[in-house]
Amino acid sequence: MNVVPRRLLHACVLLVPLCWSAVAPAKPADSQPLPDFRKLVKQNEPAVVNISSTQAPAPNRRARTPGLPELPGKENPYQEFFKRFFQERPELPGDRQANSLGSGFIISADGYILTNAHVAQDADKIIIRLSDQRERPAKVIGVDELTDVAVLKIEGDNLPAVRIGDSDALEVGEWVLAIGSPFGLEHTATQGIVSAVGRNLPSGTYVPFIQSDVAVNPGSSGGPLFNLRGEVVGINSQIYSSTGGYMGLSFAIPIKLAMQVVEQLKATGEVTRGWLGVLLQPVNNDLAEAFKLDRPRGALVAQILPDSPAASAGFKQGDVILRYGGEPVEDSSQLPRMIGVTPVGKTVAMSILRNGEPLEIKATIARLEAAEENLTTMDEHSDLRLNVTVADLSNEQRRGLGPDDQGVLVTGIEEGPAENAGLYAEDIILQINHVPVKSASQFVELARELPAGKAVPILVRRDNESLYLAVRLPEVKE
């Protein structure tokens, strides 16, 4: 092992600051000092509470964890790294109760408390511990899993409450502070800056998350995120982690969205959302070319659900929604949130692109309901240009499609244009270059007519959902 002599080490220590001082830029005259959070913490700490919930599990039932949905792809990084604060615990004996700890904050003097849905849901009993260590039972007013927001209520008057800020006004680089109970350590304050706003996560279709580098850990979930004015701008909800602990990225629910949910939960105990009845996908560079867009933008309609507002309005697969109610749609992730906050029964005008031509279409928004289709093979044909083998569908597979859909099943695929485009075995090809596919033999004929060197859309059904892929045949070298 190499050892640096002590005198040389001393010299290095002395030389480093001297070298840096020689090149360090002069301190700007208008530089601002780092913020002092002491007053902010003292003013708001009394309104932050610790939440203990218990639930009596059935025999051999594991403690429930509100995890992420299964995401497509065998090695999708989000599935591994995005985790809720409360990890799944081992099985507990049937006569014991599962305890979980989280954070929350009082939003009104009469005892309404805001926290995360995954902290409060399925609890048989919830205990709120105030800053002065008094404990009070809480009633669940309502839980909304789609935004991960829950409203609780405790008895009391003149309780300390936070001030609600404007999360829409947050800017990247702005200082923020969190107060919560990480690992049960109550009223822990951590600070950082806003890293991004409007962040889209797989687990938050209806939430444009606030991303920050504020250190939050298990137990901080449901706690408030403050701006420098001492106003709540978010609810700490998720972290990006490979271990379950903090790794520099945390995500909060914008308080503006949360308060919209609060009003509905207090009034009716549930949240009503608008529903159009389309399945959407993002537009990448190849799809933009295939659908004759000037650049990647908008929301591509991959599937239209039966008996939906979209079906009644005349939407078609392959439509690209560019504006919703006059507002531009730059990314497909924006549209579900825009539709979700639209009042049920309202008619909304949308600007779309269909076969390269602009069009306006109007749809009357309905109430969001769960709609699922179930997909549960014959003459095979191979196409050497795409390097794919397809087969006619069975009657059972046809029944799983829409009333106007046909298609062919991908039974084999080798290295080539189709594989490069993202096509998999067991996909059902519904259209190729906007032409409906009716049989395996017809598919081969259509594939022969595809232009070389140009991105062409292929509509497929995968895991009960439709999506577009852009396939590009190589140029023919003479």
Q: Which residues are catalytic?
A: 118, 148, 221
- CA 327 to the chain's CA centroid: 21
- CA distances from residue 41 to 112, 123, 169, 211, 378 in whole angstroms, order as listed: 21, 30, 21, 21, 69
Cβ atoms of residues 474 and 455 within 8 Å:
no
The two three-digit tokens of residue 87, written as one number: 């990890």
Cβ atoms of residues 266 and 142 within 8 Å:
yes
Cβ atoms of residues 219 and 245 within 8 Å:
no
Q: How far apart are CA 408 and CA 390, in angstroms?
A: 6
| 3-class DSSP state of 366 | strand
Q: Among all chains, which residue has been given the structure tokens 């902010």?
A: 40
Q: How far apart are CA 449 and CA 433, in angstroms?
A: 10
Q: How many CA atoms lie within 13 A of 281 on its CB side?
A: 23
- CA 119 to the chain's CA centroid: 18
In a 10 Å sphere around its CB, with 0-12 CB exposed, 13-18 middle and 19+ buried, how is residue 261 labelled? buried
Long-range residue pairs from 81-84, CB within 8 A, at least 24 positions apart, any chain: 81/240, 81/241, 81/242, 82/201, 82/202, 82/203, 82/238, 82/240, 83/238, 83/239, 83/241, 83/244, 84/118, 84/221, 84/238
Q: How far apart are CA 76 and CA 370, in angstroms?
A: 25
- CA distances from residue 223 to 117, 177, 212, 237, 417 in whole angstroms, order as listed: 12, 11, 14, 8, 49
DSSP 168: G
Q: Among all chains, which residue has been given the structure tokens 């990890």?
A: 87
Question: Apex CA 251: angle with CA 111 and CA 271, to 5°?
Answer: 50
Conformation bin of residue 112: beta by default, left when phi > 0, alpha when psi is -120 to 50? beta
Q: How far apart are CA 472 and CA 284, in angstroms?
A: 14
